[in-house]
Structure 1
Amino acid sequence: MYLSRIEVDLNNRQRIKDLTHLGAYHNWVENSFPEEIQNNSHKRHLWRLDPLSGKQYLLILSENRPDIKLLSRYGVPETALTKPYDHFLDSLAEGQRMRFRLTANPTYSVYQGEGKRSKVYPHVTIEQQRKWLLKKADAAGFQIVSQKSEAIEDIDNLAFDIVHRDRPVLHRKAEKGRTIHISRVTFEGVLQIKNIDVFRQVLISGLGREKAFGMGLMTVIPIE
């Protein structure tokens, strides 16, 4: 596995005009792996957009190393970085406490009757979105730490918070003249690993829906 990062060139209007929806970012990510395209062996690439100090970074977790030249297409020159991730994944252990960041698409399904596909709806309130993550955590091999945190608004004695919520454009269906949006929520906080095998797989495979469009990637940093 490889973790890659590049600063998005927001100041280059000629380039950034292509990135008006998440589908365009998805294409950028996919096209950064030309060997997979040539060999018809497409892998899942988790990615997300991280704002930091007025800048925006594209973060990608992938099985193969991306082509740096293609990854740099919409990036600030000389800012693309790729590093092996397997050693870090192997170093994780049950009981460890980690600071985490997760961008996800919290949703729920409503049964429509026998033989019919369930309908999926987004959670819209902060309370619903927080409960979504707490429900996911147990099956994902971790738990949110119960503690006070000076850095996090701890409204329910759990050390995590929603730091960003929006509804970016997923893609445009020009033929129907409408724009499709998607719910995007970024969580930050402190977790403890309960089942290392399950948790490691979640880091690799992502959490929740719409992973092709910048959702599901969780990154963690050990607390010393």
Structure 2
Amino acid sequence: MYLSRVQIDDHNQFVMRELNHLGAYHNWVEQSFPDEIANSVRLRHLWRIDTLNHKKYLLLLSQNRPDLDKLEQLGVAGTAQTKSYDEFLEKIEQGKKYRFRLTGNPTHKDSKTGRIMPHITVGAQRKWFERKAELSGFKILNFDVVSRNWLRLKKKKSRLELSSVTFEGILEVEDLEQFKQALVKGIGREKAYGMGLLTVIPIEK
């Protein structure tokens, strides 16, 4: 697997007109794998939008290596980079603590209608994440909700808004295999639209 990133050219008016909803980001990601398109292979690519030092980045986790030229089409020239993620996965240890970041789409099934509905309050969003942690092989030691947004998504003739919530904090690995699956497969719904990518950084002793 590969972890890649590129700085988004958000000072370019043309680029920002193109990236005016989550579906546009999804298309950008998909177009960065021309070999998969040529072979009619649709693999899941986890991604999210991050801000670091006042710059926006597209962060991408994929089974195959992306075409960096394609990845830079809506990014800042010279900023696309990729590295092996498998080497990082091999170094993860049970019982070890990590700083984490996750942008997710907290939802629940309405008991009356059966519809999937977004969690609205911070308290419900926090409980959603705590439940997901139990199923994903890690224990949360502490965490905060650092951002909450409604993001536009165009699907054919419909226009939707998805709830996007970013969590940050410290976790401890309890079940190594479950945890690795959460890292490579993501957490929660709407993974095609920038949700679910969990990233971690080891806490140095």
Q: Which of the five TM-score ranges fits, normalised by the shorter chain?
A: over 0.9
User: Whole-Å Cα distance in 1 between the matches of residues 178 and 169 of structure 2?
Assistant: 19
TM-score when normalising by structure 2: 0.96
Q: C-alpha separation between the residues in 2 aligned to 1:36 and 1:162? A: 36
Structure with max Cα Rg = 1
Q: Does 1:141 align with 2:137?
A: yes
Which structure 2 segments of 5+ residues have no match?
none
Identical columns (%): 51
CA distance in 1, matches of 2:125, 2:150: 14
- Offset of residue 40 of structure 1: 1.1
SS across alignment from 2:181:
helix
Q: For each residue in 1:55-86, what CA deviation from the matched residue of structure 2 results, as whole angstroms up to 9, or x when unmatched?
A: 11000000000001110010000000100000
Identify the match of residue 182 of structure 2 among 189, 202, 207: 202
- Letter of the aligned partner of 2:44 in structure 1? R
Residue 34 of structure 2 is matched in structure 1 by 34
Counterpart in 2 of 1:154?
none
The letter of the residue matching 1:171 is K
Aligned ranges for residues 1-224 of structure 1 at < 5 Å? 1-112=1-112, 118-145=114-141, 159-171=142-154, 175=157, 179-224=159-204
User: C-alpha distance in 2, partners of 1:48/1:112?
Assistant: 32
Alignment coverage as a number of residue pairs:
204
Give the superposition deviation at 1:112: 4.8
Counterpart CA distance in 1 for 2:129 and 2:15 is 35
Which letter maps to 2:133?
A
With normalisation by structure 1, the TM-score equals 0.88
Give the gaps of 5 or more residues in structure 1: 146-158
SS of equivalent residue, structure 2 residue 72: helix
Q: Which amino acid aligns with 2:144?
A: D
| Aligned AA (1:193) | V
SS in 1 for 2:93: coil
User: What is the deviation of 1:172?
Assistant: 5.7
RMSD: 1.2
